[in-house]
Amino acid sequence: MKEKKRLLILGFWQFGYTTAVFKHCEFSRDEFDITYLGWDYEDPKIELPGIKVLYVSRKSNIIVRNLRLLHKAHKEIQKGYDIVFANYIKGISLVRLLNPKTKFILYVITMGVTYSKLKRWLFDTMVKLELRAFKNIVLINSGLAKKLRVNKYDILTMGGNCFSKKEKSFDKLSLLYVGTLGNRNVINCVKGFHRFITENNALKEDETSRFVIVGDTLQNELKEIRQYVKENKLENYIFTPGFIHQEGLYPYFEEANIGVAYVPITPYFQNQPPTKTYEYLVSGLPVIATATAANSEIVLPVAGELVKDNAESFYEGLKKMNQRKSEFTSEKIKKLYSEDTWERMVRTKFIPLIHKYAD
């Protein structure tokens, strides 16, 4: 039996709280000896058998804690790894320069996505400068490569989990949003859904229509949504359970029949990887999704509706979904997107990519 290559994965998330890292580890742990190093947000610890997780404290200000993370990464690399797969962290080029003999892959999945134009510019400029320290660059899609002005790169896309086994009934609409609420304007979806059930007499005739919003944020978005629900007496129709880890999502996907893939249509979100779009489709849910460049590439007409990023358009999209509900077949949607599962993506793209640069 051949010896496994030692793989160090670097990230700024706490392990288990970002889907891509968790799935990369889950489906490649039989192939590699994996260590993950990232921040400790003091959230409940999530374990994955076969994966060694190293936590770095986030105490102190942003500069100190970022330097602490980079220092820990540098020290860990010196223990000897066949290759380092580094998700982009501010200052990661310093770690690369301090370890010139170590094989690195730099993975970039996004540019700046904050509302502040200055902060986006600073982040984007830093990414572009730090890319120069790396020979092996991996990006989420070609659109990001154009924005970063990178010519030589590999592409590593996202995937989706199949969270639902049963054939869906589309008699009543049951919407599901899963993901972060930060800077997503999901309140627009709530308002559009509110208008839809009101204008279709749903409050009197269709008490099974529902919208479940799974996710949280460091800002006030969840509080805003809950306040709107309370003020408009929508507690029987809109539910906000907060953050739920991957393993707890199955019952929510089983009950839902429409996935909501909503991000603002802005230049900085156009190529943002739509992880949950894949997961809805792989699970057999048609989607109502904002028409970003990334979503527009994925969502086929038979699998849902594309909308603008406002409450009015979301409402119109729901009307169309309701009119088309007899057209949707969950098994057909699953078949169309069967090659987009996380397991297939990791085994056919992630694992070969690690071997390509580690061998």
Please choose, from the candidates 234, 334, 217, the residue with its C-alpha nearest in 3D space to the C-alpha of residue 279. Answer: 334
**pTM for the predicted model, two decimal places:** 0.82
Q: Does the structure show a pLDDT above 60 at 202?
A: no
- Which band of pLDDT confidence, cut at 50, 70 and 90, is reported for residue 331? very high
- Which band of pLDDT confidence, cut at 50, 70 and 90, is reported for residue 116? confident
Q: What number does CATH give the domain 174-339?
A: 3.40.50.2000
Range list for CATH 3.40.50.2000 in the chain: 5-159+341-358, 174-339
Q: Does the structure show a pLDDT above 70 at 210?
A: yes
Least confident window among 108-112, 134-138, 208-212, 309-313: 108-112
Share of the chain above pLDDT 70, in %: 97
Alpha-carbon span 100 to 70, nearest angstrom:
15
pLDDT on residue 313: 98
If you average pLDDT over residues 265-269, what whole number do you get? 81
- Which band of pLDDT confidence, cut at 50, 70 and 90, is reported for residue 204? low
For 243, other C-beta atoms within 10 Å of its C-beta total 16
- The mean pLDDT value of the chain amounts to 92
Q: Does the structure show a pLDDT above 70 at 244?
A: yes
pLDDT on residue 206: 54
Q: Assign domain 5-159+341-358 to its CATH architecture.
A: 3-Layer(aba) Sandwich (3.40)
156-196 pLDDT, tens per residue?
988 888 999 888 988 889 999 999 898 899 999 999 999 99
